[in-house]
Copies of this chain bind each other. A is one copy, B any other.
Amino acid sequence: MRQVVVLGAGMTRFGKFREATLKSLGREAVEAALAAAGVDPGRVEAAYVSNAIAGLITGQEMIRGQVVLRAMGIGDVPVVNVENACASASTAFHLAWLAVASGLYDCTLALGVEKMTHADKRRTFQAIATALDVEALAAPAAPGAPGGAGESRSVFMDLYASRVRDYMARHGASKRHLALIASKNHRHASLNPYAQYREPLSVEAVLGTPVVVEPLTRAMCSPIGDGAAAAVLCAADTARRLTSEPVYVAASVLRSGKDRAAGEPSIVGRAARAAYEAAGVGPEDLGVLEVHDATAAGELFAYEDLALCGPGEAAGLLERGVTELGGSRPVNPSGGLECKGHPIGATGLAQIAELVWQLSGRAGGRQVPGARAALAQNAGGHLGGESAACCVTILTR
């Protein structure tokens, strides 16, 4: 297959934007990506558009991508609408990559857009629950018990909490380690103008926010939000005529399956292994990462699953500050899902956008110096011990 380059990426700020629509969010991200790529919309030959819950929030199903793109004057390119829960956007990126890598198209657009906020908060939580098997839920679309923060919580918080309690018992990690992650990500987000939360929070302050479900406090959990992110991809041959600093897609891997099976790496581990192999890049080569910290526990698990450290060593990694900006392996310089925000269908492409900016020296106050390889890990959906979707993308320059 051909080498593929991310020619440009863009995103909206993430946040609760009651007045925003799929169209307004999508347009802002696509225009930013096209501007960064330095190409006209006419260059785009096909678009892969991800969105997870617009059908339930806005009533728009079936042709969400066309509706958004046509409103901004892009009406004559093939559009594929993609859903894969919280991994929707990296799935769209994967398809946009494959379309160019295969030689079918020379230039494609990947767009992820999500409007999560709704006047009726229950609607949002019901929509989030569709990333599970709704038929198998006792009460279909049950919003979960109210969390300590006076708001319904996603059913996914319970899954993370139960798994991390297990991990803590086995490896001696503590709630403080989760707070180290959340505090780090809040500090990173304070440097990111696109982030939903921009207030730094000390470890103590993180621990002092209301408990959502033990050991997770509110500041350790990703918020509800709206936003969009986009990337323009093209063949490396073409890219070399358009940019002097191409960012290559070294690997784009999509997996589903058992979270963990005895004697095997986790689903994230299996996807990462395949990506490292495809890219010819190891964890030791990574200058920067964006990982799926829907909760701080997700980032903790990612450290081991991505082989940044060995089993049980995540706490040590945190204590040494390895994954902070300034450390040797910065993770979630954007602030991650916890602080940059997590508009479901946009998240994966926002990770890609951050890494493209990091690799091309455009990450402003949160710039990691000299990174040559970067990894994004995005996960979505859950089915009784199985991950519905797990994407690992490796970018290099």
Contacts and interface: CB of A to CB of B under 8 A. Distances in A.
Interface of A: 1, 21, 23, 46, 52-53, 55-56, 58-64, 66-67, 70-71, 75-85, 88, 91, 94-95, 98-99, 101-104, 127, 130-135, 140-141, 254-258, 380-381, 383, 386, 388-389
A105 to B, nearest CB: 10
Given A75-B383, A103-B1, A91 B84 contact: no
B60 A52 contact: no
A135 B46 CA distance: 24
Contacts of A58: 134-135
B98 A66 contact: no
Contact of A84 (B63, B134, B257): B63
Given A63-B85, A130-B62, A131-B62, A388 B102 contact: no
A59 B129 CA distance: 10
10 closest residue pairs by CB, A with B:
A102-B102, A76-B257, A61-B130, A63-B381, A55-B55, A63-B388, A62-B85, A81-B83, A78-B254, A66-B388
B83 A64 contact: yes
Given A61-B52, A131-B63, A135-B60, A75 B1 contact: no
Oligomer copy total = 2
Contacts of A257: 75-77
19 contacts: A1-B103, A1-B104, A55-B56, A55-B61, A58-B135, A59-B140, A60-B134, A61-B130, A61-B131, A63-B388, A66-B256, A71-B133, A76-B257, A77-B256, A78-B254, A79-B389, A83-B83, A98-B104, A102-B104
Nearest to A381: B63
Given A61-B52, A381-B63, A383-B66, A80 B254 contact: yes
